[in-house]
A and B are shown apart, each in its own frame.
Chain A
């Protein structure tokens, strides 16, 4: 049987991954470019969390709001300073992807400079730190186990309300569906893009600000450890669907944690480091079998195909 700790780990991983994947999907929907810097928004959040806990001395969870704001601001900067000028000059998708990678490298460099600054000025351990002692206990569990899923539910609910019940949300959906047409009927598509990038970066920063309660925090956690999982989750959920992103994230997060621990009990602990192979294989398999992801499958057609009775003739 699978250990309970593994299940908690799966829950926390899936929840944090959901927050990240929702953002990736939002930016992909609006700008049509996979943002390779998305993982580093979470790294930005990790340092917001570190500063909250160790420099300001607040409870870690007070970092959620500054994490959201700073993550959003960074994402907005990426969009306004680099991606928008490029799309206006008709840059190709590949050029935009290169620009996101360049921004990722830029962010990692800035984070490292900031980590050096923290180390020199505040004598903090600013690399490979684990902040789990700053967590609180609830029902005998670590706080993050409860907070992370609650956060996902709250975010999904508020996104649902925003996209379906408000005028601006409907304008957002219209812009995603058909930007020129939305512009024609008077929707401010620029504002829609800006808001989606801000929310995307904000969710990633928020996830990052509590990430080091469970994972070891470093400047490259987002870009090395999480990036591939984010993309895999996005692809599995069907990268055109925000709710699919949550489903994809839970699939990837659960499979990663449970499968690896199951394999480790039968093949030994040496197999654990190969965890990054799972999202890669999952992503390739999804693209080969169902390229539009779980939410993109036409289930009615599939059912017809599978349950069709063999013809008599």
Chain B
């Protein structure tokens, strides 16, 4: 068995990786594109449901297992499939990658369905419709058993079990399986993060910010605002769906209530706002801090429990909800503020992206304005030193 501290870190990363993907996608939508997606859970649940639908049936067909009633005999079928998967790493990974791709496609499709009729709406109406849409997928997941077993849920074939044969140094096969699963999740998360970073540092990223900040100017420049908004919702939904599928693979089952509004819409919003919207590293920091705090509360719940006359779950919800409200009032920019993106090396940024752009004052004043953040302050110090030397020399 793993020592409890290592288990803590493993659980932390297992929650961090899928949430990082969701927050990166939300950051694309909200931070860069200005789309208030309060229905993030729609895409996440869509992807997770696909992990419940696709791999189990596909493997049963490939391996020639009698499907009969797939939902009814779900556990027996999955046990049989896992018996095959444990011996074949290649088949496991093929199923894993294929399911992720299908999930991304389904996520994109859900994005199209919800974004197409709503792309012209103003922020407040858009928020309402997206929130309502996010609620609907749970209703379907709950009440349509052929999809993911309704109120019973379904098991998902485990594509990481083969790693158990590499057990070493007193670790159980289950531990190694979890480590391998977390490693794969982290790999996918890092790929998504780097890709999103490339995307936002491209001209498209600048256009997204422009759509967010001033629609009319963008229209005047001949850009299609609605199309841009549509694209970013579809793309972000595809990414978020992958996160849902990953999480389902890790927990090895899908149950509709796991994907509720609080868990997969609201928590990602807290993470993005805590870290700082439209800021890649800010979002990473926000996600990590949030997941770590929650994990700590859950980890020490037995310590709190005797002192509380209620379930510890609600304490954690209460504190984090309150924390978000306080951040929104006192530091709406989050821990790390949005910064201009430099796409050309060693060149002065032509566009600062924030409200500060409106006042084209001297560089020193701008530095003073951005003193608020620790990181900002350090960076501006560093910059001013760098800048001053060639001017004097």
**Chain A residues engaging chain B, CB cutoff 8 angstroms:** 32-34, 36, 82, 85-86, 89, 91-95, 97-99, 101-103, 105-106, 108-110, 112-113, 116-117, 120, 224, 227-228, 231-232, 235, 270, 273-274, 276-277, 279-280, 283-284, 287-288, 291
Report if B305 contacts A (CB, 8 A).
no
Separation of A276 and B131 alpha carbons in the complex (Å): 12
Q: How far is the CB of B31 from chain A (nearest CB, A)?
A: 11
Complex Cα distance, B60 from A110, in Å, reads 46
**B332 close to A105 (CB less than 8 A):** no
Q: Which residues of B contact A105 (CB under 8 A)?
A: 262, 266, 317, 321
Q: Which residue of A lies closest to B114 (CB)?
A: A284
The interface stretch among B117-125, B280-288, B290-298, B378-386 is: B117-125
Which of A93, A228, A280 is close to B123, meaning CB atoms less than 8 Å apart? A93
Contact across chains for A284 and B139 when beta carbons are under 8 A apart = no
Could you tell me the distance between the alpha carbons of A270 and B132 in the complex, rounded to whole angstroms?
A: 21
Is the Cβ of B127 less than 8 Å from the Cβ of A85? no
CA–CA, A280 to B318, complex, Å?
Answer: 29
User: Which listed residue, A98, A102, A109, A274, touches B140 by the CB 8 Å rule?
Assistant: A274
In B242-291, the 8 Å CB interface with A consists of 261-262, 266, 269-270, 273
Q: Is the CB of A277 within 8 A of B136?
A: yes
**B121 to chain A: which residues have CB within 8 Å?**
287
Residue numbers in B under 8 Å from A113 (CB-CB): 310, 314, 318
Given contacts A34-B124, A109-B314, A284-B118, contact A98 B269 (CB under 8 A): yes
Identify the closest chain A residue to B328 (Cβ): A99
Q: In the complex the two chains form, is A116's CB within 8 Å of B311's CB?
A: yes
Interface of A is mostly: helix
Q: Is B329 an interface residue (CB 8 A)?
A: yes
Question: Which B residues are CB-close (under 8 A) to A280?
Answer: 129, 132-133, 135-136
With CB as the reference atom, state the residue of chain A lying closest to B131: A36
Q: Name the A residues within 8 Å of B317 (CB-CB).
A: 105-106, 108-109, 112
Interface class of chain B by DSSP: helix
Known pairs A92-B123, A106-B318, A276-B139 / 4 extra A-B pairs, C-beta < 8 Å: A36-B38, A98-B328, A110-B314, A228-B132
Q: Report B-chain residues with C-beta under 8 Å of the C-beta of A120.
A: 309-310
Q: How far is the CA of A120 from the CA of B123 in the complex (A)?
A: 43
Contact status A34-B139, CB under 8 Å: no
B129 neighbours in A (Cβ, 8 Å)? 280, 283-284, 287
Residues of B121-170 at the interface with A, using a CB-CB cut-off of 8 Å, are 121, 123-125, 127-129, 131-133, 135-136, 139-140, 142-143
**Residues of B within 8 Å of A, CB-based: how many?**
42
Most buried by A among B118, B136, B270: B136
Closest CB in chain A relative to B333 CB, distance in Å: 10
Contact A109 B309 (CB under 8 A): no
Chain A minimum-CB-distance residue to B316: A109
Q: Are the C-beta atoms of A94 and B127 separated by less than 8 Å? A: yes
Give the chain B neighbours of A274 by CB distance below 8 A: 139-140, 143
Contact between chains at B132 and A273 (CB < 8 Å)? no
A94-B123 in contact (CB<8A) = yes
Residues of A within 8 A of B309 (CB): 116-117, 120
CB <8 Å contact, A97 and B311: no
Q: Give the CA-CA distance A284 to B136 in the complex, in Å.
A: 13
Shortest distance between the CB of B319 and any CB in chain A (Å):
9
Would B325 and A102 count as touching, CB distance under 8 A? yes
**Contact between B123 and A99, CB atoms less than 8 A apart:** no
Is B55 interfacial (CB-CB < 8 Å)? no
Instruction: Flag if B142 contacts A273 (CB, 8 Å).
Output: yes
A102 and B262 CA atoms in complex are apart in Å by 10
Instruction: Report if B36 contacts A (CB, 8 A).
Output: yes
Q: Are A273 and B329 in contact (CB under 8 A)?
A: no
Q: Closest CB of chain B to A126's CB: distance in Å?
A: 11
CA distance A219 to B118 in the complex (A): 31
CB distance from B337 to the nearest CB of A (A): 15
Contacts of A106 in B (CB 8 A): 317-318, 321-322, 325
Q: Is the CB of A33 within 8 A of B38?
A: no
- Is B49 an interface residue, CB under 8 A from the partner? no
Q: Which residues of B contact A277 (CB under 8 A)?
A: 136, 139
